[in-house]
Amino acid sequence: MRAQPLNIRAETDVVVVGGGQSALAVAYYLRRTGRSYAVLDAAEGAGGAWRAAWESLRLFSPAQWSSLPGRLMPGGTNYYPTRDETLEYLADYEHRYSVPVVRPVTVSAVRQAGDRLGVYTDTGTWLARAVVSATGTWSSPNVPTFDGQDDYTGTVIHSAMYRSPAPFAGRRVVVVGGGNSGAQIVADLFETASVTWAARRPPTFLPDDVDGRYLFGEETARYRALVAGTHAPPPQTLGDVVMVEPVRRARDRGALNVVPMFDRFTPSGVQWADGHRTREDAVILATGYRPSLGHLDPLGVREPNGRIVTRGTRSVREPRLWLVGYGDWTGYASATLIGVGRSARATVEEIDRTLARPMETAAQ
Ligand code: FAD
């Protein structure tokens, strides 16, 4: 195979790929080490995935429990920030800590380049001694396909593309998926459209007084118990439906009724398990996301199931690579605003220690 041309833009100790909350938390700790670093983000502006979230999205964690290291999200203990407030907070955070974000820059590949890693982008290559991947999941929606879908004449979108109820006014819509996204989109739509909520498994609704703050406390207790080798409390996962105010209101209005998943599409709608068919104008798939890891493929670090084996947040196969913010496999609650700080700090401490030693190369 021919070597890729390098077209070097810069050499730094660390490159962080991504520009959302995880990248910012990593940058916060990197700044304190005095090491050189760059943050490369494909987006046009600050905010990561929150830029693509639907207009009415509110955090399930109160402001005080939705903060990155060093700066409290404004609003206090009983306020659930909106999407726009979260975007403002992240833009302000980036500015306040002078995070050196270069955007829009899409990283297409990370490759071994001698004793460095080459970070290949659409505007040139960065050479780094360590790379942190913090690309999140929102750019890789999990989109299942269904029998009969090719002949369906209505609209099918993933929740990643859902912005507001307006385009669905007066229409018949099926929302698929029993998690928080599904519940919040049903709550957003039910007054505007005729909505059916379908899921393979019935959702678990958390009690009204359980929110992100409580869940994070639970996760922390579980983490500590696992580390200490003692009995871990059963998981109450962040995937269970948190009864944020719009979801509570939908429930109180009788709009949160889940039916078992439909069997197949028909040309004009869907067919349900008992054989009856309904006309449906649109189907919204709130079916989750996968980690966005394609840029790491040239490193050969992915397992057949697509995952990367890590010890803490560090890749076992490529010890110059760290992964932050993708979910519990890269640190408990690391895919949340409040949780990612812990993973980011441990990651930067390890990178700093590693770079202080003679260079390590890939473990083959
Ligand atoms: P992202 O925010 O996705 O940022 C990744 C960035 O990387 C993006 O800017 C993207 O453009 C960039 N990127 C991707 N690929 C490349 C590439 N190849 N090259 C360069 N740049 C790239 N968390 C909470 O704490 N509280 C909540 O209430 C909450 N509510 C949620 C509600 C929903 C419906 C969902 C789906 C998630 C919610 N979360 C919540 C979880 C959460 O905060 C997100 O998962 C979070 O956005 C993850 O941040 P991140 O920085 O890891 O990734």
For residue 41, give both structure tokens. 């983000």
* CATH at 272: 3.50.50.60
Q: What is the largest CA-CA distance in the chain?
A: 68
Same domain, 190 and 281: yes
Q: Which residue's CA is the nearest one to ligand 1's atom 6?
A: 18
- Ligand 1 pocket, residues with Cβ under 6 angstroms: 17-23, 40-43, 48-49, 59-61, 66, 106-107, 134-136, 138-139, 180-181, 212, 292, 295, 325, 335-338
Q: Which residue's CA is the nearest one to ligand 1's atom 40?
A: 336
Question: Parallel, antiparallel, or unpaired: how do β-strands 172-176 and 155-158 relate?
Answer: unpaired
Same domain, 295 and 281: no
In the predicted model, is pLDDT for residue 332 greater than 90? no
Q: How confident is the model at residue 216 (pLDDT cuts 50, 70, 90)?
A: low
In this prediction, residue 58 carries a pLDDT of 86
Q: Which residue's CA is the nearest one to ligand 1's atom 18?
A: 107
Ligand 1: which atom is nearest the Cα of residue 61? 28
Q: Model confidence over 10-33: pLDDT tens digits?
A: 999 999 999 999 999 999 999 999
Does residue 122 fall inside a structural domain? yes
In this prediction, residue 235 carries a pLDDT of 53
In the predicted model, is pLDDT for residue 56 greater than 90? no
Ramachandran region, residue 308 (left: φ > 0; alpha: ψ -120 to 50; beta: rest): beta
- The answer to whether 122 touches 41, Cβ cutoff 8 Å, is no
In this prediction, residue 364 carries a pLDDT of 40
Ligand 1: which atom is nearest the Cα of residue 121? 19
For the whole model, what pTM was predicted?
A: 0.90
Q: State which of 336, 338, 340 you would mutate to test the pocket of ligand 1, scoring each by most atoms of that ligand within 8 A of its C-beta.
A: 336
Q: How confident is the model at residue 230 (pLDDT cuts 50, 70, 90)?
A: low
Beta strands in 36-185, from DSSP E residues, in sequence order: 37-40, 101-102, 107-113, 116-121, 124-133, 155-158, 172-176
Same domain, 168 and 189: yes
Least-confidence region, from 26-35, 92-101, 207-216: 207-216
Domain count of the chain? 2
Segment 66-79 shows an average pLDDT of: 90
List the domain range (segments joined by +) for residue 130: 8-140+290-355
In this prediction, residue 363 carries a pLDDT of 45
What is d(CA 173, CA 362) in angstroms, rounded to the nearest whole number?
A: 50
Ligand 1: which atom is nearest the Cα of residue 58? 28
- The answer to whether 103 touches 90, Cβ cutoff 8 Å, is no
Q: Model confidence over 128-141: pLDDT tens digits?
A: 999 999 999 999 99
Q: Mean pLDDT of all residues in the chain? A: 90
